[in-house]
Structure 1
Amino acid sequence: MEAKVLDTKGKATSDKVTLSDSIYAIEPNDHAIYLDVKQYLANQRQGTHKSKERADISGSTRKIKKQKGTGTARAGSIKSPIFRGGGRAFGPRPRNYRFKLNTKLKRVARRSALSLKAKEESIYVLDGLRFDTPKTKEFISVLTALKLENEKVLFVVGNDSDNAYKAAKNLKNTKVVSADSLNTYDVLNARKVVIAKDAVDVIEKILN
């Protein structure tokens, strides 16, 4: 499929790029998308949650009342979870939420996400996204020219766009990623995907 190349003023240039059908026009695999997004979100979790169990509580170890004859249930420790100030029963413990996915499946998921966006006509190809200085004002002018200032937008750029990263850092609904770190979650989380012309070949090289 062919796509028009836009400049930073939002106007179509005479240039066109061919987007590979094997990436932008496949039948989306919903389960692959689900697994890849699940892994991405799991990898964001720190897993440092911890509550104090009875072994972690400071308190007396004496038996708080005699075993029999009180008319109530037997109790051996003030640190028991049934008492106020006692340890928590079955509380969260530090753990690693990461899990493995095959590279082939992750490629299918990314191709499926891009195909969904292409089907919705939500993919734009930009001639370039290079700034001499990392100014947010200049980035906003690009968004305005593309009529995307009120949208959640993902910009996919080449590897030499440090100023673009910095310029978009303070923009709430805009994210800039390099083509080699493109992931399924970011594609689906955005309403529109803007791909720099120099990033198209990088994406095809990785996902084909």
Structure 2
Amino acid sequence: MKVLTAEGAAQQLKTPLLVNGRGSQALHDAVVAYRANRRSGTRATKTKGTVRGSGKKPWAQKGTGRARAGYASSPIWRGGGVVFGPQPRDFSKKLPKKVKRLALRKALSGRIVEGAVLVSETIDLPQPKTKELVRRLDSWDRKETLLVVVEGHESPVWLAARNHPLIAVVTAAEVNAEDLLWPDRIVLEEPTLPILDQRLAVGGKQS
């Protein structure tokens, strides 16, 4: 494995890197959207209409000396409904394709400038075992988190990395800007570079 420098990226990628402030807002918006889209939005409280209990009037309107009461599920009663409590909702945010593309380009550019991106040949393992994968990743510090970007789902790296708590695997067609930000190191298989370059180009497919 070798470090992908800015000069090397300029030779292997047709799309130039972003080394200035352009794309920072797109990257922020993309990360916020990706995290919001993972929220389930299923928390809920019971209102006066859904709380358990009868709708029968507790006592007569007049003549008892007590305050008027229409139903036992009133929010002001113990065991009654909740007023303005959380209800199921959709937190998802939609991003334009151009914003996704710009965010991915900005994230990849920043990690390359940091020196956190490594390029490796296609990782062929004799057996899809974690020990074999760790042996192939000779430049990797065993205390660092690692993201391996592979060409497709048929790669044996998927099976080899699933038991390792510090290694994650994603395909070049599915990796997004947020994926590139969390690991300490990123390993790109050489066949993934044209795929990423195509996604960074205008009109490229975004996930």
Q: Do Structure 1 and Structure 2 share a fold, with TM-score over 0.5?
A: yes
| Superposed CA RMSD | 2.5
Say yes or no: does 1:113 pair with 2:114: no
| Residues 83 and 126 of structure 1, relative CA distance in 2, 3 Å threshold | same
Equivalenced residue count is: 195
Structure 2: how far apart are the matches of 1:185 and 1:70? 64
Residues 153 and 194 of structure 1 are in contact (CA less than 8 Å); yes or no, is this contact kept in structure 2? Answer: yes
Structure 2 unaligned segments of length 5 or more: list them: 202-207
Name the counterpart of 2:185: 192
Residue 41 of structure 1 and its aligned partner are, at CA, apart by 1.1
Cα displacement string for residues 54-106 of structure 1 (whole angstroms, at most 9, x for unaligned residues)? 11112122333565788886543221222222122222222222222110111
Residues 37 and 184 of structure 1 are in contact (CA less than 8 Å); yes or no, is this contact kept in structure 2? Answer: yes
Structure 2: how far apart are the matches of 1:23 and 1:166? 34
Please state which structure has a larger fraction of its residues in strand.
1
**Residue 147 of structure 2: SS of its match in structure 1?**
strand
Residues 164 and 176 of structure 1 are in contact (CA less than 8 Å); yes or no, is this contact kept in structure 2? Answer: yes
**Residue 85 of structure 2: SS of its match in structure 1?**
coil
Structure 1: how far apart are the matches of 2:180 and 2:66? 60
State the AA in 2 paired with 1:152. Answer: T
**Residue 43 of structure 2: SS of its match in structure 1?**
coil
Residues 134 and 164 of structure 1 are in contact (CA less than 8 Å); yes or no, is this contact kept in structure 2? Answer: yes
| Residues 148 and 66 of structure 1, relative CA distance in 2, 3 Å threshold | farther
Structure 2: how far apart are the matches of 1:142 and 1:75? 74
State the AA in 2 paired with 1:63. Answer: K
Residues 23 and 207 of structure 1 are in contact (CA less than 8 Å); yes or no, is this contact kept in structure 2? Answer: no
Say yes or no: does 1:60 pair with 2:77: no
Structure 2: how far apart are the matches of 1:72 and 1:190? 65
Structure 2: how far apart are the matches of 1:45 and 1:59? 32
Structure 2: how far apart are the matches of 1:73 and 1:32? 58
TM-score using structure 2 length: 0.82
Structure 2: how far apart are the matches of 1:139 and 1:64? 70
Residue 177 of structure 1 and its aligned partner are, at CA, apart by 0.4
Say yes or no: does 1:152 pair with 2:124: no
| Residues 64 and 129 of structure 1, relative CA distance in 2, 3 Å threshold | same
State the AA in 1 paired with 2:192. Answer: A
Structure 2: how far apart are the matches of 1:194 and 1:73? 71
Residues 117 and 188 of structure 2 are in contact (CA less than 8 Å); yes or no, is this contact kept in structure 1? Answer: yes
State the AA in 2 paired with 1:181. Answer: E
State the AA in 2 paired with 1:119. Answer: V
Structure 1 unaligned segments of length 5 or more: list them: 11-15
Residues 154 and 193 of structure 1 are in contact (CA less than 8 Å); yes or no, is this contact kept in structure 2? Answer: yes
Residues 26 and 111 of structure 1 are in contact (CA less than 8 Å); yes or no, is this contact kept in structure 2? Answer: no
Residues 33 and 113 of structure 1 are in contact (CA less than 8 Å); yes or no, is this contact kept in structure 2? Answer: yes
